Structure 1
């Protein structure tokens, strides 16, 4: 009998699968990876040993190695050492653990750290000409909860907001600011315009200028 292997991914309420090579060697390697002995037969996915199956994050899914869509729909426990991988929609980024492994104590790794699929904000806000853009609360890319603080170099002043937040809609709360070159006054003391006006008036009055 030819073994039928598939890699399957669930995303929200949608399921899809891509067939993998039909190979006895692939079946053997998968069995070894899941802790089964060669020749022991099919994996007992419906047993009570292993880790209880977990649900994907909102706007994301879970990639299961070596399981068919029917198995994923009916399985309750996955074997020890089995790994699952989170995937997100194209406009979102996984925040938190991307891969979890079933431990011997029946729990998944890093369950104290949730995995979420958050919408990304444009990266153009992460740079500032003639200044610095300092991102906060960011891992790989800017997502909901990330904010950026802006600072200009010496001799420049900030035009616009000094902070912008990435929202859950994937937009920044304020436009990207700019750093504008400071303009010095004529005399450096702030009296330049008054001095000019006084000199003009003195010249126009006959007999005043000596």
Structure 2
């Protein structure tokens, strides 16, 4: 089946393109990230189960289960040398934490790393001048997809800017 798939792809090329194209058989099937899967475009379930090698230039797309998002490359392409693009960068399916925590009325929220708030993300809260922070000034998204501390609030201060940490 893999040979047939490769023949279909290479036979569709003009003769000049076929002669300069690497003759590599393609790329071996790779495993999806934990809690994820792979979308194989244009292949039936039966073809996916039987194929061992995908042709050069074929693209796969990672998908995640449940309330998870891809962190890292979402799409990989088979290169002429028989490897997939961006293999040095891991793709992971991580739980998404509530986005409502990424904003703060009368304050600012900075987070690391940049991107969607997934497990491992840290948020740091500060209030605008004239407001005080009630609660913790930071929180982390844990492996359960929950923030580890209650969301703080910024209250108007009559004494100036300060922080009241609980």
- The normalised TM-score by structure 1 is 0.65
- The one of 103, 121, 125 aligned to 1:150: 125
Superposed displacement of residue 124, structure 1: 0.6
Matched residue of 2:49: which SS? helix
Distance 2:52 2:77 in 1: 16
- The one of 158, 161, 166 aligned to 1:183: 158
Tell me the equivalent position of 1:75.
51
Q: Does 1:117 align with 2:93?
A: yes
Tell me the equivalent position of 1:171.
146
Q: Which has the larger radius of gyration?
A: 1
- The normalised TM-score by structure 2 is 0.81
Question: How many aligned positions are there?
Answer: 143
Q: Which ranges in structure 1 are unaligned for 5 or more consecutive residues?
A: 1-30, 39-47, 185-210
Distance 1:95 1:181 in 2: 38
Aligned CA distance change for structure 1 residues 81 and 35 (closer, same or farther; 3 Å): farther
Higher RCO (CA < 8 A, seq sep 6+): 2
Q: Does 1:105 align with 2:91?
A: no
The RMSD of aligned alpha carbons is 1.7
CA contact (8 A) 1:123 1:142 kept: yes
Runs of 4+ in 1 over 4 A off after TM superposition: none
